[in-house]
Amino acid sequence: MLLISCPYCGARAETEFSYGGEAGIERPKDPHALSDAEWADYLFMRKNPRGLHTELWIHAQGCRRWFKVERDTVSYKITSSRELSLGASEKE
């Protein structure tokens, strides 16, 4: 089980959290301006890296806030955990 550090509450067991997938995916400002391929890229295509991955988690059974975790997808070691910067672009 992962030990995840919530930036607001501290380190808790993985069972308190829900996974939110790849971080930094922004909904396009004007979807109608996109081609089908670009829309598909936003909806479905993922980095899915073997190695460091920036991902979203929510402390579902705690403060219920979303935050960003950097984790190695092979060793599962978490290298950082921080708040989302509100208002600013989170695009990687």
Partner 1 sequence: MKKYSVVSLLRNALSYNRNWTEAWRSPAPQREYDVVIVGGGGHGLATAYYLAKEHGIRNVAVLEKGWIGGGNTGRNTTIVRSNYLWTEASLLYEKSLKLWEGLSQDLNYNVMFSQRGVYNLGHNLQDMRDIERRVAANRLNGIDAEVVTAEQIKNAVPLINTSSNVRYPILGASLQRRGGVARHDAVAWGFARAADALGVDIIQQCEVTGINRDRGRVTGVETTRGTINAKKVGVVVAGNASVLGDMAGLRLPIESHPLQALVSEPMKPVLDAVIMSNAVHGYISQSDKGELVIGAGIDAYIGYGQRGSFQTIEHTMEAIIALFPMFSRVRMLRQWGGIVDICPDACPIISKTSVDGLYFNCGWGTGGFKATPGSGWTFAHTIAQNQPHELNAPFDLRRFETGALIDEHGAAAVAH
**What x-and-dash track marks residues 46-75 binding partner 1 by CB under 8 A?**
xxxxx--x-x---------------x-xxx
Return the bridge partners of 47, or none: none
Q: Tell me the two tokens of residue 82.
A: 């921080």
Distance in Å, CB of 38 to partner 1, minimum = 9
CB atoms within 10 A of CB 88: 7
Part in contact with partner 1 (CB under 8 A); list of ranges 23-31, 39-47, 60-68, 80-88: 39-47
Our CB check for partner 1 shows the closer of 78 and 84 to be 78
Q: Of residues 37, 85, 86, 91, which one binds partner 1 by CB under 8 A? A: 37
Give per-residue burial for 45-71: e unless 16+ CB within 10 Å, then b: eeeeeeeebbbbbbbeeeeeeebbbeb
